[in-house]
Amino acid sequence: MNADPAGLTVAADSEFESVSDVIDHARENPGDLVASGTAQAGIWHVSLAGMLLAEDVDADAIRWVPSEGAAPALQEVVAGGVDISTASLAENRTMIEAGRAKALGVMDEERAPGFDEVETLQEQGIDFTMGTWRGIAGPADMDEDIVAELECHLGQIAESEAYTTFMEDAGLGVIYRNAEEFATFAEEDDVTKGDIIREAGLAE
């Protein structure tokens, strides 16, 4: 029903002006920078680790401080407690619009809704995309007739003006996949993120 790419947000007075600036600094000064946005090995942590690994930088070259979500992490960014938030730009929108934080890039093939001025990583020469998604799931043995009925209604909701307008106003992305497409996507995404988690040393 929804997908939002990870973004890189820093304090408004940060020395960094691009994602490449951050990566270059991390490569040359491993452990100097600190990021936050979610729990250890949560989606925004995995996004950061994956980006660094894609650029041949150690996944822990930017230290991760777990937080209870994007909001407290961004408060720490603005206060100077951490250097970077990798949560979605929509979650950091208030501080960005208030001029207390600035977005350096977004981990998607297209620019994020409501942030047309923020370049994708690919536009900055970094071949990496990642983000979070939200969908509707049920028990594995759910009756196929019920699945079909729910799928029909959810598809109509995803295409409705009320839903798309609400999501656009909130800066959230709308990506609808039917039951079969969603199942395939979830399996593939699980493999991708699992590979990053293992390579970054985040798996037990």
Per residue in 64-90, pLDDT tens?
999 999 999 999 999 999 999 999 999
Per-residue pLDDT at 201? 93
Q: Give the number of other Cβ atoms within 10 Å of residue 124's Cβ.
A: 15
Mean pLDDT score across all residues of the chain = 95
10 Å CB burial of residue 133 (0-12, 13-18, 19+) is: middle
Statement: residue 204 has pLDDT above 80 = no
10 Å CB burial of residue 140 (0-12, 13-18, 19+) is: exposed
Q: What totals of helices (H) and strands (E) does the chain contain, helices first?
A: 7, 7
Statement: residue 113 has pLDDT above 90 = no
